[in-house]
Structure 1
Amino acid sequence: MIKVSVMYPNGPKTKFDSEYYKNSHLPMIAETLGDSLKGIEFNIGIGGRVPGELAPYVAIAHLTFDSIESFQSSFGPHAEKFAADVPNYTNVEGELQISEIVS
């Protein structure tokens, strides 16, 4: 199994509509990817290392797939559609990381 994490950097000028992301963007992704998407998790940053510090990421989405090939073959053909929706919920570019789930 692999996890694809999309992390949205936080900052004083960062805008992120978590309601839109949760209720529109993620459901669109889940519906489009179908059975190749094994799981989805959405986290909202609430703090950093020091009390009162901004969280490094305003939000993080974790999507799980059986393999990198499964992710690429299901996500790739729709990447432009997903990217076109980004301005509807944020003004920052998400960072993407693919990780192997080891436990």
Structure 2
Amino acid sequence: MAISLQVIYPISEGKAFDFDYYTTTHFDLVGEHMGEHMDSMLVTKGLAGGPDVPPGIFAVATLVFKDHDALNAAMAAAPPVLADIPKFTNVEPQMLIGEVIS
């Protein structure tokens, strides 16, 4: 069964997010260190929290893996990716690991 890892970057006062670095440098690190274990990756930039509501999230990265073994292998390779996070944001990301049901 496919497994997803979502990395969520919530917006709060005093927090910043460098989308240029995220898309041009961090994505490459994810691919270099975790890519061989992933089936796909989707990144969503927050634009709104609803009609006329500012976004509550900078971005959500969704990484999809074939199974738990692939996720575990990717996480074992992830330390350089995790160490890179402070280079583009001062947000403490939230993570959600889940079973892909659709």
Q: Please classify the TM superposition score into its range, dividing by the shorter chain length.
A: 0.7 to 0.9
- What is residue 60 of structure 1 aligned with on the other side? 60
- TM-superposed CA distance for 1:17, in Å, is 0.7
1:16 matched to 2:28? The reply is no
1:85-100 aligned within 5 A: 85-100=84-99
SS of 2:42's equivalent in the other structure is strand
Q: Which runs of 5+ in 2 are unaligned?
A: none
**Please, what TM-score do these two structures have when normalized by structure 2?**
0.88
Task: Give 4+ residue runs of structure 1 displaced > 4 Å after superposition.
Answer: none
- Identity score, percent: 28
Give the RMSD, CA atoms, in angstroms.
1.5
- TM-superposed CA distance for 1:34, in Å, is 3.4
In structure 1, what is the Cα distance between the partners aligned to 2:3 and 2:95?
A: 13
1:2-81 aligned within 5 A: 2-51=3-52, 53-76=53-76, 78-81=77-80
**Please, what TM-score do these two structures have when normalized by structure 1?**
0.87
Q: Which runs of 5+ in 1 are unaligned?
A: none
Q: How many residues align?
A: 101
CA contact (8 A) 1:9 1:92 kept: yes
Cα distance change of structure 1 residues 80 and 35 upon mapping to structure 2, 3 Å threshold = closer
SS of 1:84's equivalent in the other structure is helix
SS of 2:36's equivalent in the other structure is helix
